[in-house]
Structure 1
Amino acid sequence: MSSAQSTGGGTLHAITVLGHDRPGIIAETTARLAALGLNIEDTSMTLLRGHFAMTLICAGPASDAEVETALAPLTADGSLTVTVREVPHEDGSARAPATPWVLTVHGGDRPGIVSRIVGEVAAVGGNITDLTTRLAGDLYLLVAEVALPGEADTAALAAAIKQAATDLGVGATLRPAEADEL
């Protein structure tokens, strides 16, 4: 049995679907996965400047090759790209407890905002668990869910983020996440 298999959930697959947006991509993709007996466990779907982007983690009895074959019709006209990759089941017991925070950044757009701000989070062992950015004209917005290790000095991190934001000419806040935000 491979590291990506268990007796309960079957093989885990990471599936991406990327390309030009059109109605029905989600419906067609998920119907094909359901027909294989796959259970969708985690997803992220969005439009990025008119381009469709979806990532799914699915579990079930199908092999990567069977999933690829089932999803191949999505790519027939060349407007979508699909990738399938087996991934190992996570062992959540090895993770240290983390506290959820929300990071927001807003201001004039310029290169380096994401790398500089999230670099401060990484420097204290924090993990970005969700990240969304939007550009509206010249206004840039970043919203991230952040998991910080219990020993992280959140006041020092907030100060470092504020300093990085000031250097970049943007505003930034780091605050504890409310349960209904996650």
Structure 2
Amino acid sequence: MSTPPNPRDLLAITATGEDQVGLVQRFTSRIVDSGCNIEESRMALLGGHFALIMLVSGRWDALTKLEDRLASVGAELGLTIVQKRTRDLDRKHALVPYSINVVAMDHPGIVHNLANFFAQRDINIEELATDTYPAPHTGTPMFSVNMTVGIPGDTHIPTLRGDFLDYCDSLNLDAIFEPARA
């Protein structure tokens, strides 16, 4: 009987602070110096603030070294840092990734309505990004949402797609619903 592989130890890190040139380089150098590796990350400039979410891997001693240093790194770089040990995601059922793109005139509640649609169907939003911009020619405030959802493999996709597009039409949202590209 074979032994299942040990789950990897990972460290989830979030950091926010005033934006500065070279901040990513200075922060990531601390990760490399600790002997850890960045597995996944999302970084964005939001207003004048820099925000990052990162998943870091490494041997247990390297992760411990990094954890011990993060408070002083945060103070040095002017970042508020939150860290949490985690493990690889263990999915019980296969999920099919789909990409959702929505554009509409900006108004409150768009993200909430989209999240509600998927939550009511037990579909997880795995990634979400939003943006506002002026419409060409008119300058009307526009809002865009790009998300990836994980749809359970036993879901009838054509029905879900139709229900989603009808829902978006009822809210005056232009939407695209298609398989996510790797």
1:151 to 146, 150, 154: 154
The aligned counterpart of 2:56 is: 58
The aligned counterpart of 1:133 is: 130
Where does 1:3-152 land on structure 2 (aligned, <5 Å)? 9=8, 11-60=9-58, 61-62=60-61, 66-76=65-75, 79-92=78-91, 94=92, 96-137=93-134, 138-152=141-155
The aligned counterpart of 2:138 is: none
Q: Distance in 2 between matches of 1:89 and 1:108?
A: 38
Alignment: residue pair count: 171
Q: TM-score normalised to the size of structure 2?
A: 0.80
SS at the partner of 1:157? helix
The amino acid across from 1:154 in the alignment is: I
SS at the partner of 1:76? helix
Alpha-carbon contact 1:120-1:160 (below 8 Å) kept: no
Q: Distance in 2 between matches of 1:48 and 1:167?
A: 30
Alpha-carbon contact 1:133-1:142 (below 8 Å) kept: yes
Q: Distance in 2 between matches of 1:8 and 1:155?
A: 36
Over 3 Å counting, the alpha-carbon distance change for 1:111 and 1:150 in structure 2 is same
The aligned counterpart of 1:163 is: 166
Q: Distance in 1 between matches of 2:32 and 2:68?
A: 14
Identical positions, percent: 28
Q: Distance in 1 between matches of 2:143 and 2:46?
A: 14
Over 3 Å counting, the alpha-carbon distance change for 1:156 and 1:50 in structure 2 is farther
SS at the partner of 1:85? strand
Q: Distance in 2 between matches of 1:58 and 1:21?
A: 22
Gaps of 5+ in 1: 1-5
Q: Distance in 2 between matches of 1:7 and 1:117?
A: 37
Q: Would you say 1:172 and 2:175 are equivalent positions?
A: yes
Q: TM-score normalised to the size of structure 1?
A: 0.80
Q: Distance in 1 between matches of 2:116 and 2:96?
A: 18
Q: Distance in 2 between matches of 1:65 and 1:39?
A: 13
